[in-house]
Each structure stands twice: as C-alpha cells, then as structure tokens.
Amino acid sequence: MCLLTFAYDCHPNYRLIVAANRDEYYQRPTEAAHFWTSYPWVLAGRDLEMLGTWMGITSTGRFAALTNYRDLSSQIMNAKSRGFLVSNFLCNNESPNEYMLDVVNNRTLYNGFNLLVGDSKSLLYFNKLSSLVEVLKPGIYGLSNHFLNTPWPKVQKSEEALANCMEKQPFLKPQCLFEILADTEQAQDRELPETGLSQERERMLSSIFIPGTDYGTRSSTVILIDRNNHVIFRERNFIKSQKHLSEVNYEFNLI
C-alpha cells in the first residue's frame, strides 16, 4: 500500500472513511480482496508471494493497513515480511494497544513501515523509526511512504480531495473516492521528496495513481463504515496503464 487518505471519526454519518492505492510490481502474484477461507472473518487482498496483506477489515470491525517507509539506506537483509503486520492483527483478537506493543518490541525484524490498526474504539499509528504509538484523534489524514501527514504533494492533494468529497456528500458515494485515487498528475520536480531514488523514479512515484510499466498501482480500495456499523467495501484491480482488470464489492453489518 503506497497511499492512504482517511477520515477518522470526523463525519456525522461515518466512523471511518478510507481511500487507498496499493502500488506494487505487476509480476508479484496477488489475490483480490475476499473473505479468507482459513480466517473467514477477514476481508482483504492477499500477497501470494509471502501470504500477508497490505490492508483489510474483519466482520467485527478490526481494521489494519500498511505502507512501506521509503529509505534505501536502511534496508536490512532477511527481514520478515511486513504484510504479516496486517494479517496477524486481522486474524487474531489482541486489542490494538496490546498488538502495537508487540510490534514496537519486534520492529527491528522488519524493513521500514507505517502501520495502522484499530477497532470500533480506537485507531493507532506506528512508524518503525519511532518508539511511540500514536492514538489518532478525529480528523483527516494522509499516509504514503514517509511519516503520517508528511506533506508530499500526493498526500496533501488526496487529503484536500477527501475533505471536498465529505463536504459535498453527506452520504458518500464510493465513486467520489475512486476519482481521487485515479489521479495520474505528477508533482513538479521542485516538490519531489528525496528518498534515495533517482529524480525520474521520484517523479514517476509522485502521482496518486501510478501507471508504470513494471511497477504501478495494482488496486484502488474504498472502505466506508457508517455510524450504524454498516460497511461498504469496494476494490478495483488494475494491470498496466490503468487498464481495469476486475472489481469486487462487499456490503455487510459488523457483528
């Protein structure tokens, strides 16, 4: 997952609003979002290479999402797959606080990451480079491959667009959020971050939707949890150059 913009507990009709793009190499095998056979309460996509996931929700309202922290100078060899940080939370029943304490204690086993975990009572954020877990307050947030709310152009742009959707639509239509996620406009060179990549690569990665040749946006996901605990989950899957591959739609009430 390389971009999430989300609104937590700050809309009169929704407890959580999520719009997210997962960027990955096209050759990496992936399953679209579905309820897992082995853990039937988990709704998430699946990375078939390591069998973890990047984002998901459960039938009881547990939510987790992950982005990589981009810093080529801090890569470690034989690191554990970061996708397990999401799937382990979704598949088990530890409280978010208990789970994050375990993540903090074992963070050195993973390459850089940002992790969100939560349930109906709280939403927590942690970055591997920090020793502190942040309990999020109501608000609109953006997360890419740096810290939460780092003012990268794509992060700021998606936050502003989400706020605009929320203002215009008291009952949100997923299409408004998908339009945010489909934006392919790249940032100006002067706005590009410096994360150890070439300027050409930074430019390519600077758009909300990345229509790359070997690497790009593989899926766009919208999650809405309303105040009555009704969930709308929509995911669009893509191959190269925004070519629409498939779409999955789920609606259910939390248990």
Q: DSSP assignment of 132-162, as one string?
A: --EEPPSEEEEESSSSTT---HHHHHHHHHH
What's the domain range around 178?
Answer: 3-253
For the domain that residue 73 is a member of, what is the CATH number? 3.60.60.10
pLDDT of residue 253: 98
Domain count, the chain: 1
Answer whether residue 236 shows pLDDT above 90: yes
- Which tens digits make up the pLDDT trace of 133-192? 999 999 999 999 999 999 999 999 999 999 999 999 999 999 999 999 999 999 999 999
Answer whether residue 241 shows pLDDT above 80: no
Q: What is the percentage of the chain residues whose pLDDT exceeds 70?
A: 100
pLDDT of residue 243: 78
Rounded Cα distance between 89 and 64, Å, is 7
End-to-end CA distance of the chain: 27
The overall pTM is greater than 0.95: yes
Higher pLDDT, 1 or 116: 116
